[in-house]
Chains A and B, each alone.
Chain A
Amino acid sequence: MPKHKLRVARMEKVAEEYKAAQSAAELLQRKLQIEIDFGHDFGLQRQGGRDFRANLESTYIVRLYAEFEAGLRDYWQNHEQKGTKPGMSQLVTESLASRLRIPNDIVEDTIRVVRYRNSLVHEIDDQIGPDVVPCSFGETKKIVRTYFSRLNRVW
């Protein structure tokens, strides 16, 4: 399978897992409402169940982003044959965008995702900075797939 297809398939797999996890979270919530000690065998605390549901979208955004980043770095290293390791913002806005002539709107949307993901991973007080605009999982998927579609598909 060409690398491009393979990388896209990995992102799709995360999206499918997210749907499964959403369904599981829904079931868990219902179960916890009717069975007070559900999950006791696994040491599950009720708060853990609530947090699981509340953080599910962020968790999968971080996972999807990891696949996106791995795909871009693979492309940079193996298709463009570059030995440098630019940071993600630089890779997205300069290194790849100028070589591949990516539309500004796509680059700016992607930077929004980069900032939001960074805030999810690095902010410990749950306060997002003024430059950060939250993205849903659906938006994130659409944005990273659009950016990825500008990479050479025959790779």
Chain B
Amino acid sequence: MSDMPRRERFFQDIRGAVAETHRPAIVTSGAQLLSGRAVESFVQQSHAWLNPGLLLAYDSTDFENLSREELGELAESVNDFRTLADTVHLQSGPTYSQSKEGLAKLESLGELVKRIVVKEWQDAARWLINEIQSVCVDRKLPHRYIEKKITESLLGEYAIPQFMFRSKQPVEVVPLARFVVGACGLYDMAVGMGGYVASLFRDYDLTWQIHIDVGGGVEKGRTLKFDKEAFISTLNELEELSDA
């Protein structure tokens, strides 16, 4: 597995920071909010993300695919957050008002990152499903797709295509998540009822790959670059196993 690229690291860092602010320990009732302990705990936890280190992986050259407007919005939001983070005392950490302001800035940065990530992920997923659909059309296999609702931290709820078709057996291509350890998005392809599954994952270089592991551990499994030929051979293999 290759190292996480800088752009993905930036997304993951923002995701982690936003998730930290949503940790159940921070979600307080109105009564708790009024107590000094809740404030102290909120300020303490904000020290983990309210520092310039959060933006270490940000580099504007990684976002040249964005429109000029989006790029400007992202740069502004990053600068806003960084300006505030630079004022936080390294040893004593943020004050309550810095934490409160930081939370608002982080939420706005998280909102921008969410928009960028969801759009890219939906586009990538549609490309994958279109490729699979065209295999089904060529082979005259009955098929349909639905928009599945997924909820992930940072991204919230979003819709992403799920695809079903009938080959020798029913096959489901099901989206799992955008944020995955070791990849930038994941689908499962499940064939029949026997539990035979291949992973379709979007690698760090943003190409789709197929991984098939049928009984010998990941190292004995195979990973192929996704194309129609690799897809058909994986499908055939899973169907044979499922038939056996």
Interface residues, chain A, CB within 8 Å of chain B?
Answer: 2, 4, 79-81, 93-94, 97-108, 130, 133, 152-155
**B19-27, B85-93, B105-113: which one contacts chain A?**
B19-27
Given contacts A103-B180, A152-B197, 14 further A-B contacts (CB under 8 A): A79-B217, A94-B181, A97-B181, A99-B182, A102-B181, A103-B152, A103-B176, A103-B177, A130-B25, A130-B41, A133-B23, A133-B24, A133-B25, A154-B214
B45 to nearest A CB, angstroms?
8
Taken together as a complex, chains A and B put the C-alpha atoms of A107 and B183 apart, in Å, by 14
- Residues from chain B with a CB closer than 8 A to the CB of A100 are 218
Residues of B within 8 A of A105 (CB): 152-153, 177, 179
Q: Which of A2, A100, A155 has the most CB of B within 10 A?
A: A100
Question: Given the complex of chains A and B, what is the CA–CA distance between A115 and B183 in angstroms?
Answer: 25
B189, chain A: closest CB distance, angstroms: 13
3 tightest Cβ-Cβ pairs between the two chains A and B: A103-B177, A153-B195, A97-B181
How far, in angstroms, from A84 to B19 measured CA to CA in the complex? 31
Q: How far is the CA of A38 from the CA of B1 in the complex (A)?
A: 62
Answer yes or no: B201 CB below 8 A from chain A CBs.
Answer: yes
Q: Which of these, B19, B152, B153, B183, contacts A101 with CB under 8 Å? A: B183
Provide the residues of chain B in CB contact with A106, threshold 8 Å: 177
Contacts A79-B217, A80-B219 given; does A101 touch B41 at CB 8 Å: no
- Return 5 A-B CB contacts under 8 Å, by A number: A97-B181, A99-B218, A101-B183, A103-B177, A130-B25
B215 CB-CB contact with A under 8 Å: yes
Number of interface residues of B (CB under 8 A): 34
Interface string of B41-53 (1 = CB under 8 A from A): 1001000000000
Report whether over half of chain B's contact residues are helix, strand or loop; otherwise say mixed.
mixed
List of B residues within 8 angstroms of A130 by Cβ: 25, 41, 44
Residue of B with least CB distance to A103: B177
B198 to A: closest C-beta gap in Å: 11
Closest chain B residue to A153, Cβ basis? B195
Question: Is B182 a contact of A101 with CB atoms below 8 Å?
Answer: yes
Q: Mark B195-212, 1 if CB is under 8 A from A, else 0.
A: 111010100000000010
**How close is A155's CB to chain B, nearest CB, in angstroms?**
7
Smallest CB separation, B190 vs chain A (Å): 10
Q: Taking the nearest CB of chain B, how far is it from the CB of A84, in angstroms?
A: 13
Interface contact B181-A107, CB-CB below 8 Å: yes
The one of B1, B12, B183, B196 in contact with A154, judged by C-beta atoms closer than 8 angstroms, is B196
Interface string of B63-107 (1 = CB under 8 A from A): 000000000000000000000000000000000000000000000
